[in-house]
A = this chain, B = another copy of it.
Amino acid sequence: MKVAVIRKAHFNAAHRLHNPAWDAAKNQAVFGLCNNPNWHGHNYELEVKVIGEIDPDTGMVVDLGWLADLIRREVEDRFDHKNLNLDTEAFRHLIPTAENIAVVIWQILRAHLPEQYDLHVRLYETPRNFVEYPA
């Protein structure tokens, strides 16, 4: 009787899409406006889905307070009001596309989640563009 529990969170950050292996023209051609050297930014909306069995004593899959604290400490405090390219270890050598940010957040949270749970991440870069990992 597996149930999924989803918690929403958010953070605001600046980023730039840029591949240092390419010249300026190719970066501009591939990434367009997102390549602006002076950065742009987003309100990222995050949904963290944890799947597991209901504990019959609590009626809960996971303590939602614990999950909210984990997301705050590991994701929001790390990325909120930051420049993803300059201020974070994770994107020093990885292009901070929504796809890569979702995978990084999944990896961070996976390391803190007991093994019996499955984990899925959905990340909205804008209200009209979002990604899910794993697909």
Q: Which residues of A contact B (CB under 8 A)?
A: 1-10, 12-15, 17, 19, 21, 30-34, 36, 38-43, 45, 49, 51, 54, 57-61, 63-65, 80-83, 86-87, 94-100, 102-103, 118, 126-135
B60–A97 touching, CB < 8 Å: yes
Most buried by B among A2, A80, A128: A128
User: How many copies of this chain?
Assistant: 6
Assess the B100–A33 pair: CB atoms within 8 A: no
- Chain B residues near A6 (CB, 8 Å)? 129-132
Q: How far is the CA of A5 from the CA of B130 in the complex (A)?
A: 6
B81 touches A33 (CB 8 A): yes
Q: For A13, give the chain B residue with the smallest CB separation.
A: B40
Nearest Cβ on chain B to A7's Cβ, whole angstroms = 6
Q: Which of B4, B43, B65, B87 contacts A132 (CB 8 A)?
A: B4
The smallest C-beta distance from A96 to any residue of chain B, in angstroms, reads 7
Question: A64–B43 Cα gap in the complex (Å)?
Answer: 17
Of B5, B14, B19, B32, which is within 8 A of A38 by CB?
Answer: B14
